[in-house]
Amino acid sequence: MFTRLILGIALSLALPVAGFAAERFITVQSTTSTQNSGLLDAILPQFLDETGIEVRVVAVGTGQAIRNAMNGDGDVLLVHSKPSEEAFVADGFGVQRFDVMYNDFVIVGPAEDPAGIAGSSDVVAALGKIAEAEAPFASRGDDSGTHKAELRLWDAAGIDVSAASGTWYRETGSGMGATLNTGTGMGAYVMTDRATWIAFGNKGAHDVVVEGDQRMFNQYGVILVNPERHENVKAEDGQAFVDWLIGAQGQAAIAAYQVDGQQLFFPNAPGS
Amino acid sequence: MQDFASSFTHAMGLILQGDAELWAIVALSLQVSLTAVIIAACIAMPLGAALAVTRFRGRNVVVVLLNALMGLPPVVVGLMVYLMLSNAGPLGVLQLLYTPTAMIVAQVILVTPIIAAITRQTIEGLDAEYAEQLRSLGVSASAKIPTLLFDARYALMTAFLAGFGRAIAEVGAVIIVGGNINHVTRTMTTTIALETSKGNLALALALGTILILLAIAVNAAVSTVGLRARSIAYA
């Protein structure tokens, strides 16, 4: 009786699993910021309605997203680290890169502001003060787009953060949300994209302390994975998504997405 | 610490609302983990029993290895399965990456050593008890395995439940091979990880409460079936 029951359960469980593969869908390798901010949940249903193509999003850091796409595990790449994206295309992994939208990075910090940088709009000077005060700073440390942008800014400030790793400079090796949870927990400064911060639900006593520096510009790009490299890439449906995203409808959908009355991403595709 | 206090009521609210999306996630979690544990049990129980009744050189090494594999890190298993199923990997043609099937494969690998090791321990004890009797009946070593497994079926429910506990609770493997894709591969644990990273700690904790209630329900169901069957068998 026991074995028959188990077999019965096994059969009923195994059957529906097979049914998942038949639909028309593409897989997009993207970053946590586009998912955690709620943008993709807001715009993808519109694309589905217009084209009948379901978009399945794997949201990881930009570094991991690019590596997954290099393995052919995705049809489209939507990330935010222009130098890495251009290298991805130049190495033949992607067809062509298009600007999609931008927002900006901000530095958030505790209310006590131990480095005294609140209200600053000079990010390089602010990072210098954080290093000087040895105030805790939580970094992504995960090779993501945000992490790469942060490292470029430390570089500009002439500070070798790897020497301070484990003291006041703390690399979480995690996604944006997890790093913000850590940062608010330990009273550390964190550099984050504005969209994730606005949509974040565990701000604690943290607030934006540095913003408005043009060096904290954050550009997102979209690339079709090269079907000549990986024949499983759904080139036609993937291209349809790229075209929609940089076309009038996709750009309007991005502009319309707001959280708490604030626009999170600003469309800037060429020709839109 | 009001998070803890409110999370339980929050969880109850979510359950009572009967949110379709939540139920789909719960159903997928159960489907993936139960399927994985049943497949693992079909592999691991004969394997563990065979190891229990046979004697060969290096057997102790195999037993130690099997016990050690109970501690397989889910992230490592996820990574191995990803590398196998990736389009750049040897099994890429199967197109299984980012599907529930990939999550089942990863969980089978995680759970098989646990069930096999507990089965080995259980059957070895039983074999010591019945070896003489079975020998007097002229039962061969290979025929002993199904006999002992059948006799130990209630004790082996613990092995099954230990495997289920591991499968339903792990996040490291399923998030890599499943990709946490909404409506396709999003399970309870990956949803909890996602909501935590969004900073929605109360919601994450409420989902955790539901997951624990789910585990209790499955354990209670298996125990009840086992007890009822036993009371019929020995009545």
Whether A6 has a pLDDT exceeding 70, the answer reads: no
User: Measuring CA to CA, which residue among B90, B68, B86, B66 is closest to residue B78?
Assistant: B86
Q: How far apart are CA B217 and CA B220, in angstroms?
A: 5
CB contact under 8 A, A21 and B201: no
Per-residue pLDDT reduced to its tens digit, A138-173: 999 998 899 999 999 999 999 999 999 999 999 999
Outline where chain A has alpha helix (H).
Answer: 2-18, 32-36, 39-51, 62-70, 82-90, 123-133, 145-156, 161-164, 176-186, 194-199, 235-246, 248-256
Entry pTM: 0.87
Look-up of token digits 């563990």: B48
**Hey, is the C-beta of A22 within 8 angstroms of any chain B C-beta?**
no
Q: How far apart are CA A72 and CA B200, in angstroms?
A: 33
**Hey, is the C-beta of A199 within 8 angstroms of any chain B C-beta?**
yes
Q: Which residue of B has its CA nearest to A11?
A: B35
Per-residue pLDDT reduced to its tens digit, A196-248: 999 999 999 999 999 999 999 999 999 999 999 999 999 999 999 999 999 99
Give the distance, in angstroms, between the CA of residue A17 and the centroid of all CA atoms in the same chain: 30
- How confident is residue A3, by pLDDT bands cut at 50, 70 and 90? low
Whether A13 has a pLDDT exceeding 60, the answer reads: no
CA distance B64 to chain A (A): 29
CB contact under 8 A, B34 and A9: yes
CA distance A158 to chain B (A): 31
What residues does each domain of chain A span? 2-103+219-267, 104-216
User: Measuring CA to CA, which residue among A198, A207, A111, A216 is closest to residue A154?
Assistant: A216
Q: Are the C-beta atoms of A66 and A80 separated by less than 8 Å? A: no
Q: Per the structure block, which two tokens stand in for A192?
A: 């984050």
Q: Which of A16, A72, A200 sits opposite B198 (nearest CB)?
A: A200
Q: Per the structure block, which two tokens stand in for B222?
A: 């298996």
Q: Which residue of B has its CA nearest to A183?
A: B199
Q: Which domains does chain B have, with CATH numbers?
A: 24-233 (1.10.3720.10)
- Using a CB–CB cut-off of 8 Å, the residues of B that contact A are 31, 34-35, 38-39, 41, 86-89, 92, 95, 97-101, 104, 153, 179-182, 184, 194, 196-201, 225-226, 229, 232
Q: Flag whether the ipTM exceeds 0.90.
A: no
Give the distance, in angstroms, between the CA of residue B46 and the centroid of all CA atoms in the same chain: 16
At the top level of CATH, the class of A104-216 is: alpha beta
Along the 235 residues of chain B, how does pLDDT read in single tens digits?
456 777 778 888 888 887 888 889 999 999 999 999 999 999 999 999 999 999 999 999 999 999 999 999 999 999 999 999 999 999 999 999 999 999 999 999 999 999 999 999 999 999 999 888 888 888 887 889 999 999 999 889 999 999 999 999 999 999 999 999 999 999 999 999 999 988 888 889 889 999 999 999 999 998 888 888 878 777 6
| pLDDT over 90, % of chain A | 84
**Hey, is the C-beta of A203 within 8 angstroms of any chain B C-beta?**
yes
Q: Which of A2, A71, A202 sits opposite B199 (nearest CB)?
A: A202
- Topology of the domain comprising A2-103+219-267: D-Maltodextrin-Binding Protein; domain 2 (3.40.190)
Per-residue pLDDT reduced to its tens digit, A101-130: 999 999 999 999 999 999 999 999 999 999
Q: Which of A2, A56, A230 sits opposite B153 (nearest CB)?
A: A2
